[in-house]
């Protein structure tokens, strides 16, 4: 019974630092994308894209063709109509980086944008 009380307690404060995770990790990127889908389309197109780009950390080859959800989500973000100029640039950097790392689905996204 004591065990349940320990696990059911809420933390006294919310952590102010992000949860540590390994950068350029495909499962972490997919987990972030799934979490981002719970937010508003505007948040996804701004903060969500920024977090994904930060997590990839320029190592697109570590993520390319290894994510289940990333490319579908990128397509949804673009289709949402919430990308501002900065968001469009960030979206293109991510898609271009993945395409350069031989992710065929990213190449399809590039072609569909033309």
88: its two tokens: 């469009």
Q: How far is CA 10 from the centre of its chain?
A: 28
pTM of the prediction?
0.80
**Predicted pLDDT of residue 13:** 46
5, 19, 71, 73 from 34: Cα distances, Å: 30, 16, 12, 9
Domain boundaries, the chain: 23-113
pLDDT in tens, 19-43: 546 678 899 999 999 999 999 999 9
For the chain, list residues with pLDDT below 50: 1-17, 20
């Amino acid at each position: 019974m004591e065990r349940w009380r320990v696990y059911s307690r809420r933390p006294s404060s919310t952590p102010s630092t992000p949860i540590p995770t390994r950068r350029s990790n495909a499962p972490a990127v997919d987990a972030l994308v799934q979490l981002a889908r719970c937010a508003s389309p505007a948040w996804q197109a701004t903060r969500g894209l920024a977090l994904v780009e930060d997590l990839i950390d320029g190592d697109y080859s570590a993520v390319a063709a290894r994510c289940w959800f990333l490319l579908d989500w990128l397509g949804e973000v673009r289709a949402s109509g919430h990308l501002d100029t900065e968001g469009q640039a960030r979206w293109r950097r991510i898609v271009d980086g993945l395409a350069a790392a031989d992710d065929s689905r990213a190449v399809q996204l590039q072609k569909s944008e033309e």
